[in-house]
Amino acid sequence: MSEQIATVTWINGPVVRARGSRHVSMLELVEVGEERLVGEVIGLNGDIITAQVYEETSGMRPGAPMYGTGLPLSVELGPGLLKSIFDGVQRPLPLIEMQSGSFIGRGMRLDPLYRKDRWKFTPVAKVGDAVNGGMIIATVMETDTFEHRIMVPPDLSGTLTWLASSGEYTLEDVIAKVKVGSEEKELTMLQRWPVRRPRPYKSRLGVNTPLITGQRVLDTFFPVAKGGAAGIPGPFGSGKTVTQHSIAKWADAQVIVYIGCGERGNEMTEVLQEFPHLTDPRSGRPLMERTVLIANTSNMPVAAREASIYTGITIAEYYRDMGYHVALMADSTSRWAEALREVSGRLEEMPAEEGYPAYLAGRLAEFYERAGYVETFNGKSGSVTIVGAVSPPGGDFSEPVTQHTKRFIRCFWALDKSLASARHFPSINWLDSYSEYLEDVAGWWQKQVGTDWLRMRNRAMEILSEEARLSQIVKLVGPDALPDEERLVLETARLLREGFLQQNAMDKVDAYSSLQKQVRMLELILRFHERALRIVKHGAPILLIHELPVVDTLIRMKTNIPNEELEKMDDIQKQIDEQMSRLDSEYR
């Protein structure tokens, strides 16, 4: 089906030029050389075609053929995506392993979705229905509990003239026919969509539901909304990956798309080995059953790394369109930006800042704009939330990728090297981070958790910023110079830092905090503070407060009290009250 359209004239790493047809289009997929390595057209000039190739080009020669396909780079969509692991251009890595062994060979052409599986199909539309793009015509159980909704492709509308009856079908079996004008189109469960084109939806809805991650510093202090976008920049070793893994494990999304973009192989292996054995706290099913992995590690071809982000987001949008909440993690967007830079450099384009091409900001904007909470064409609502890691060189946030990312996200989780080296994890700096979703989600908290979360959260932040100010003084004159009321602020801030903000992702109990637990912990710490403040004002020395046994209890409650045993918190509250009353009576 593909014919030779040009002849290769120049090769420089992943970038090749060829001379030939003037009918090739921008972003069309091409195949290059005898091995038919897949590439994508990224430049056209007269009869010169420039393409980026998704595989190693070693051994390729000028004179090699280039074949056209007439299609843009697309992903396959359909049942079987969940539990899969693909490379950046959606090649299934387990099948690659079966074919080429432990090392990834070249020129491997494999269907992303396995064709032979038979899926249990239940029609939900009726023959004669007028259908339009996005409408759900059938459902398939993709896992034991996950309902995959088969939709009419977005750009199609007409009359349903035939629909397969309940039964088992493969991805390639015709399951419906739609009459469009005088033409009848056959549909299968397998659809394709060009990755660089956002999938359409009916309308955007407001974002006012938080994505619950079970991470206290995120949920309580810097929440991201479902359909929102968050950036997580930090130097190496500061906790970007662990935080993203934690979100992938515990977030209350129905589908997780995790993109390992130019990062470590072992980190993907870790997910592959761990997720099947972890249980989704909501569905009770293995976490892997809601997860799609895209792994284009740092040593895999750089052009496919560039594509991986788009492959991932398109799959996320597809599940969104069924009416699901999807969370997408991209680790790391900086490696993607560097892939852009590498290809741009080989094209000898004019660089803007730090060698990055001038279109970097535009590409980042396009990516983050694909996050959203939408009404789909089938009347449901779904969302894609994006969490993008950023790896600034030298940890310096003034570099272009961090700066441009900041323009397109509304939630900024700033990781801090000094916190990380002091082993304060997650090392999210509470003074440098922000969330613009705070007000948006406050109503949800009030309704769902029934507390004035925002007031408590702001009170805690006040104590923490006060601590920052006071520590400046302490650094010069020592803590003894401060009045006891201010030393109490330091004491409570320590409780907040060690007892609340620090959360150990490796600890069974601490890894995930329910909202109820988070609220209760915060209440207790603030209660401690308010009661202690009164006593200190009566003249009780701060040292006695510091030595109260309940201080240790408050610091340990995160690991000692599981989400299911929150009534134990009442006991801690009693301890606070008793110990404080005792002190109080002594100093009245």
Ligand X SMILES: Nc1ncnc2c1ncn2[C@@H]1O[C@H](COP(=O)(O)OP(=O)(O)O)[C@@H](O)[C@H]1O
Shortest distance (Å) from residue 537 CB to other proteins: 22
Residue closer to ligand X by CB (options 236, 587) is: 236
Fill in the amino acid letter for 444. Answer: W
The token pair at 270 is 């870790």
Interaction of residue 504 with ligand X, rule CB under 6 A: yes
CA distance 210 to 232: 17
Fill in the per-residue mask, 214 to 243: x = in contact with Mg ion (CB under 5 A), - = not in contact: --------------------------xx--
Q: Kindly state the smallest distance separating residue 307's Cβ from ligand X, in Å.
A: 22
Ranges within 396-425 binding ligand X (CB under 6 A): 425
The mark string for 74-113 relative to other proteins (x by CB under 8 A, - otherwise) is -----------x-------xx-xx--xxxxxx--------
Whole-number Å distance between alpha carbons of 66 and 6: 5
Any residues with CB less than 8 A from the CB of 358 and at least 6 apart, and which? Answer: 350, 351, 352
CA atoms within 13 A on the CB side of 583: 26
- Which residues neighbour 32 within 8 Å (Cβ) at sequence distance 6 or greater? 8, 16, 18, 38, 39, 51, 53, 57, 60, 64, 65, 66, 67
User: Per CB under 8 A, which of residues 326..385 are in contact with other proteins?
Assistant: 335, 338, 341-342, 345, 348, 351, 354-355
Q: Please state, in angstroms and rounded to a whole number, the distance separating the CA atoms of residues 428 and 501.
A: 9
Residue 559 interacts with ligand X (CB under 6 A): yes or no: no
Residues 3-22 that bind other proteins (CB under 8 A): 9-13
Q: Is there binding between residue 300 and other proteins (CB under 8 A)?
A: yes
Residue 492: count of CB within 10 angstroms of its CB: 26
Pick the binder of other proteins from 5, 20, 32, 57 (CB under 8 A).
Answer: 57
Q: Is 297 in the site for other proteins (CB under 8 A)?
A: yes
Longest distance between any two alpha carbons in the chain, whole Å: 94
Residue 503 touching ligand X (CB under 6 A):
yes
Nearer to other proteins, 100 or 581 (CB): 100
Least distance from other proteins to the Cβ atom of residue 551, Å: 8
Paired tokens of 285: 């099913």
- State yes or no: residue 587 binds ligand X (CB under 6 A): no
Among 25, 279, 299, 465, binds other proteins (CB under 8 A): 299
Return d(Cα 441, Cα 411) in angstroms, integer: 13
Applying the rule CB under 6 A, the residues between 252 and 271 that interact with ligand X are none
From the CB of 48, what's the least distance to other proteins, in Å?
11
Q: How far is CA 228 from CA 204, 342, 381, in A?
A: 12, 29, 14
| Smallest separation, CB 232 to ligand X (Å) | 8
Q: Does position 242 bind ligand X by CB under 6 A?
A: yes
476 vs 506 by CB, closer to ligand X: 506
Residue 78 DSSP symbol? S
Beta carbon nearer to ligand X, 184 or 507: 507
Q: How far is the CB of 239 from ligand X (least distance, A)?
A: 3
Minimum Å gap between C-beta 437 and ligand X is 22
Do residues 230 and 217 touch, judged by C-beta distance below 8 A? no
252's CB contacts (< 8 A; 6+ apart) are 211, 212, 213, 282, 325
Out of 154, 239, 388, 392, the only residue in the binding site for ligand X (CB under 6 A) is 239
Q: Does 398 bind other proteins (CB under 8 A)?
A: no
- The answer to whether residue 237 forms part of the interface with ligand X (CB under 6 A) is yes
# residues near other proteins by CB under 8 A: 75
Give the nearest residue (CB) to Mg ion: 241
DSSP result, 515-542: HHHHHHHHHHHHHHHHHHHHHHHTT--H
CB 164 within 8 A of CB 178: no
Which positions touch ligand X (CB under 6 A)?
Answer: 234, 236-242, 425-426, 503-506
Which positions touch Mg ion (CB under 5 A)?
Answer: 240-241
